[in-house]
Chains A and B, each alone.
Chain A
């Protein structure tokens, strides 16, 4: 089922938590709400669920306005961050609860519960109580409870954040396979972890301070970030932002001129130049020689911290350099450049073809 949010606005007291949010989520889509802590993601999800009421705006499920519907009548399912399993019921009763509340017949309940328990490999846990389960098992029970009644929309609020790193990576993959590929349920998934968002989502909506920043596929967000917030929020390590100037349709940076090969005309004056750490290389013909301030080992590669003027430039390498701390090393740009307006921080243009 499709879910549509129109002009959703919400304030708690005097703090505006959501500002005029408009999103349309298509049927069967795996949609991720991404944003830093406190940005209003959970609030938005809870508004869709009906646990919270928007001050203004409409929620449409399949084209029908549901603002007035009780959560129990919306045919949505939700997995909470702490799972919210009923501590006084065993796993079987936890999973069957939504069916029981809908007056489903006993035999049907049993077969349904067996079916999802099989699907999620928790048949052996049915007699246990939540406190007897590990975090990963609790998570699967919570999923099972949400899945058991074939919801039309599936909401998940940071369902992996209580698990250890290894399990998280594994479940990331499994969750998408199950919900999207196997069952094809419309899913709205909340996370503050951009890697989670990038690996799982069909489309991502980035929220910051209650405002919708950009909606797009992971590739779109990575390749065409709408502003500096998204540019730095998505991709690790973060994109470098350098203060620069445009003069005579050329970018002046590090005392050098970068000439744009495309026919685009650049706005003259101060500008923010963005370049991803992966797109900076060590070597000649260098654009500048910068002092090496430190090095971080990531396992898969290395991040070099380079100093220039009063700020820092990050550089991602796959192999270790021979350079030592304090040494000046030559760097060159080898990838797209992003130009952001210096006051609005919006993307002005992306430059693929240039020459130093």
Chain B
């Protein structure tokens, strides 16, 4: 009882009581697991038999695979998925990220700028654009697979531009990744446009009024006021987009299948980690791959963040 009477102790005990569950849970399944994962990457293990310390050989195998992939890329790209799946996943996800992030950021910004004009029904547009983001990616993929069929809904709108040629989106290695990218852009750009929109609404009105009085045209206002002021939000959207894109899993898993579809054209790093761990039961090797994924995400987003910050100070 004496402990309880003291003011300090009451507060501290209450604090502990209130955070103990979230703290322990996150410490265990977050930090402990992250460390475990790193540690596991030096072992060879299939859960059932005893763990075997293998030093750096998981990483060595990984770099061998990457090297093999790099050579195959120029000599015999058809064998990539078969001989160097991690490299193939890496290559695909970089291409995918390069397509998706700029496109969705640009589209989102454009839609937000237009939606920010004083027009009726802006709430309707917000809801319409945001809806895909609230829908499950698996469901989106399933619906789009139907729409992307050779005799499907999307080709109907495309044939005027292809001279009647119906693209076999999902079964042609040239188009599979494009189809997945389009679905991703469709699914997330609306979400980000609402982010931009709320950012636009917090910009100070006085600056615009002053610029108007100074005679700046609306294009000039956009280039010299809006975009610079939005820089932090653009950075946020790019980085969030980047982190999401590099970890893309659901769309490929459903639309291409866990083996990456025709010629492995829809294969990703995350699919490769999934397969290595849960189909091949090579947990140590998979852990090494996840460490590489973490480093990739971390360094790329760090790089982009610095790049964008640099812009802000110019």
Contacts and interface: CB of A to CB of B under 8 A. Distances in A.
Q: A contacts B directly in the complex (CB < 8 Å)?
A: yes
Contacts of B6: 68, 70
Contacts, number: 16
Nearest to A51: B7
A70 B11 CA distance: 9
B20 to A, nearest CB: 21
Contacts of A69: 5, 7
A71 B8 CA distance: 11
Nearest to B4: A70
Contacts of A40: none
Contacts of B7: 50, 68-71, 73
B10 interface: yes
Nearest to A71: B7
Interface in A41-94: 50, 53, 68-71, 73
Contacts of A50: 7
B95 to A, nearest CB: 51
Contacts of A53: 8
Contacts of A71: 7
B10 to A, nearest CB: 5
Contact of A73 (B5, B8, B11): B5
Contacts of B5: 68-70, 73
Contacts of A73: 5, 7
A136 to B, nearest CB: 33
Interface string B110-143: 0000000000000000000000000000000000
Contacts of A70: 5-7, 10-11
A49 to B, nearest CB: 11
Nearest to B2: A68
B175 to A, nearest CB: 57
A69 B9 CA distance: 10
Interface in A81-114: none
Contacts of A68: 5-8
A71 B6 CA distance: 10
A69 B7 CA distance: 5
15 contacts: A50-B7, A53-B8, A68-B5, A68-B6, A68-B7, A68-B8, A69-B5, A69-B7, A70-B5, A70-B7, A70-B10, A70-B11, A71-B7, A73-B5, A73-B7
Interface of A: 50, 53, 68-71, 73
List 5 A-B pairs, minimum CB-CB distance, nearest first. A70-B7, A68-B6, A70-B10, A68-B7, A69-B7
